[in-house]
Amino acid sequence: MFGYLLLSLIFFGRGICPPHFFTRISAGARNHDPSLIMWALEWWPYALSHRIDPFLCRIIWAPSGVNLAWVTSMPLLALCAWPLTRALGPIGTFNVLSITAPALAGWSAFLLARQLTGRWWPSMLAGYIFGFSPYMLSHLLGQLLLLYVFPIPLAVLLALLFVEERLAQKYFIPLTAVLLVAMFGVSLEIFAITTVFGAIALAIAYYTAGSDTYRRGVRRILMPLGASYGLAMIVAAPYLYYLFAFGFPRGSIASPKAFSCDLLNFLLPTPTNLLGANNILEHVSSRFPIPPEADAYVALPLAAIAFSYLRSRWDTRIGRVLGLFLGVTLVCALGPRLHVAGYMLFGMPWALFDHLPLLRSALPGRFMLFAFLALALSAALWTADDARSRAARMTGAAAVVIFMLPNPTARFWSKPADTPAFFSSGLYRKYLAKDETVVILPYGPLGNSMLWQAESGMYFRMAEGHTGPTVIDDFQRWPIVDAFHFRKAIPGPGPQLKAFLAAHNVGAVIVADPDQGNWWKPIVSTLGVQPIRAGGVLLYRIAPTELAPYKNTHALDWQIAFNRARFEQLLVAAERYVASGRNLASLTPFRAETLGLLPANWSLGKGVYNRNGLWLGPWRGGKVGVGVVGSYDAVKPIINAYGPLALRVYFPYPKRLVGPPKGNPFMRKLVMVFDRQGLARAARMAAEARAGARAESALRLPANS
């Protein structure tokens, strides 16, 4: 354990050594996930000590709040680290836990390998492979909850001892239940996929057993294992209640296709690895799905050793179990569609699980956790085999260690906390009332507002949050939130912003990067107030009288106005483009913007459809497609007004609209196809609708509010 901890400190801890321990975060600079994790470390002790419901949290996404049962919040880890958080604060605690996680994972794999091999050094190698695997390295960039996987090898160890009748049932049941509760309380995802791959391992062990005695041992574990799960679920009953009593997400929380392993990643490392930290390989690995989580690299010496062991020991029970389990895991990790160098090809076996509850939200790339455990055990058994020369075994083990060395750059594994003095020095107490609701820019996942709230001791509420992919429908319905998330321009930003602030009882807007970029200025300047500069932030205090006219409006009102203004602007732009005689094949939102036909900063991307939810481009037969993204209720007035002039209407695209749409109509693509005559008539109609008032005044208060 101490050897692995020393390695972890050397590899990952140099960037946060004093005097930077409380000012730098042990995580990569590419995301703000650590902000949520550090917030959770503070939230659970805070909620329990203040007698607040810890699951239904209303200090983020205020005033509606969020159910933390479906959010990355690791309650058990936060409660276990409570004394540490009180002593070191959320940043210090996060750093300690991040450095400790690989050591714990390595130690647990060492114990399992030691049971299998009876040898010290081969087991140390297994612990190194598992604890410092590409899976662990990729998630050390900020996803702490996915690093506390040490219960998994320990659970395998208990199962092995029980099957071999070296552990009594009265000890197996409670000990396994403790490990299951530990997994459940840290990461529901890890608990779920461990259950699935545990079942796969048991099935393989049963059907590859060479004797009825061993099969009986495998069957004998089922009832005690079920009892362990039952006991664990009793302990986790409060969590289960909140998980299902208040509804749960429909469909996948995140896309399994986007989080699948790339076939090329099995051969090529990413920048988290020493060998992958160069321009040539970084150019290739950047094409892998979700590059920060590309964790499938199997070092060549490790692959050779595992292949050598499995081939030579295929006639043994453990050789067949490890070989088949490894093969199944690698295939599943490729996800529902095969990816090669970033290109998505044909379907894969995991696509069968896309339709199963819970499992359809499992992210296949993270299955590599189990592949590296199988590889680690194979390497330990190969190294412990005296049939090979000592020199060969030592050379192979050394090659594995070298090929798996992490990126040596200390700053790669840490980033500045960047907490403005407004929050770190307590200035917020001078300018904000206790429990006042604020909006902080950069908004939600684009900044560290969650961390700053945690560092303030949950002093203020926020009409925002960073809760991973969990959808907060009440906020997604507001166009201004989308503008904050993508830093883009929208029609009528002033009324849109004021309506949002009024609906969420916001008293102040805080800009935490006032000297970095001007994307926010056109939006907050519409508040018409002079900002206060304090502690490195700009604070805009909004008078209640300014927001009073917007109190009784609703998100749908502003969606309708927002979508109609954008659609009509696209119609006018398309007609002007076509009338000028330009090449229709080149028409895109970006092209229209560069020609001054659309407002600046509308086009995010250069395709016909872009990330700003705009569709503008050629359609077969010399026709034009125009569209926006919105809920059905929000685009229905557009369909009613301009649908009769269109040749075809698609919603949700690519389905042709015939009557009210079926399924989930929330935030889907509306595309209308016009011929030249229909486009001209629709554009004239749109221009007339806009003639009475420009976008700003037209959006001041929706007519149907």
Q: What is the 3-state secondary structure (H, E, C) of 589-650?
A: HHHHHHCCCCCCCCCCCCCCECCCCEEEEEECCCEEEEEEEECHHHHHHHHHHHHHHCCEEE
> Is the pLDDT reported for residue 696 higher than 50?
no
pLDDT value for 703: 46
Helix (H) / strand (E) element for 44: namely helix 33-49
The pLDDT confidence band at residue 110, using thresholds 50, 70 and 90, is: very high
CA angle 175, 1, 130 (to 5 degrees): 80
Residue 630's nearest CA partner among 618, 642, 638 is 638
Please give the average per-residue pLDDT across 605-627, as a whole number.
90
Q: By mean pLDDT, which of 37-46, 351-360, 430-439, 616-625 is the weakest? A: 351-360
The alpha carbon torsion through 17, 20, 23, 29 (nearest 10 deg) reads -60
What is the chain's mean pLDDT, rounded?
A: 88
pLDDT tens, position by position, 473-489: 788 889 999 888 887 77
pLDDT value for 623: 94
Please give the average per-residue pLDDT across 195-208, as a whole number.
90
The pLDDT confidence band at residue 175, using thresholds 50, 70 and 90, is: very high
647/612: higher pLDDT: 647
Give yes or no for a contact between 624 and 587, defined as CB atoms under 8 angstroms apart: yes
Non-local CB neighbours of 351 within 8 Å, separated by 6+ positions: 336, 337
Residue 74's nearest CA partner among 53, 46, 43, 48 is 43
Which single residue is written with the structure tokens 């976008």? 695
pLDDT value for 516: 66
Q: By mean pLDDT, which of 171-175, 281-285, 631-635 is the weakest? A: 281-285
The DSSP letter of residue 659 is S
The pLDDT confidence band at residue 705, using thresholds 50, 70 and 90, is: very low
SS3 category, 338: strand
Residue type, 93: T
For the chain, give every domain's residue range: 2-30+74-412, 421-550, 555-698
Q: How far apart are the first and last CA of the chain?
A: 64
Give the CA diameter of the chain. 89
d(CA 345, CA 350): 14
The DSSP letter of residue 667 is T
pLDDT value for 252: 46
Give the residues across from 438 on adjacent strands: 462, 508
**CA 58 remoteness from chain centre:** 21
d(CA 494, CA 474): 20
Give yes or no for a contact between 609 and 669, defined as CB atoms under 8 angstroms apart: yes
Backbone φ, ψ for residue 239 (5° rounding): -65, -45
Residue 652's nearest CA partner among 667, 669, 636 is 669
Non-local CB neighbours of 637 within 8 Å, separated by 6+ positions: 560, 564
The pLDDT confidence band at residue 32, using thresholds 50, 70 and 90, is: confident
> 328-344: b or e for each residue (b if 16 or more CB lie within 10 Å)?
bbbebbbbbbbbeeeee
Give yes or no for a contact between 155 and 144, defined as CB atoms under 8 angstroms apart: no
Give the residues across from 533 on adjacent strands: 538
pLDDT value for 247: 67
- In terms of DSSP H, where are the helices of 525-582? 544-547, 555-579
Please give the average per-residue pLDDT across 304-314, as a whole number.
91
CB burial of residue 198 (10 Å; 0-12, 13-18, 19+): middle
Backbone φ, ψ for residue 651 (5° rounding): -165, 125
d(CA 579, CA 624): 12
Q: Rounded to two decimals, what is the model's pTM?
A: 0.88
Backbone φ, ψ for residue 262 (5° rounding): -85, 135
Non-local CB neighbours of 380 within 8 Å, separated by 6+ positions: 113, 116, 117, 119, 122, 123, 125, 126
Give yes or no for a contact between 32 and 160, defined as CB atoms under 8 angstroms apart: no
pLDDT value for 251: 46
Residue 195's nearest CA partner among 168, 171, 176, 216 is 176
pLDDT value for 1: 78
CB burial of residue 323 (10 Å; 0-12, 13-18, 19+): buried
Please give the average per-residue pLDDT across 650-677, as a whole number.
88
> Is the pLDDT reported for residue 292 higher than 90?
no
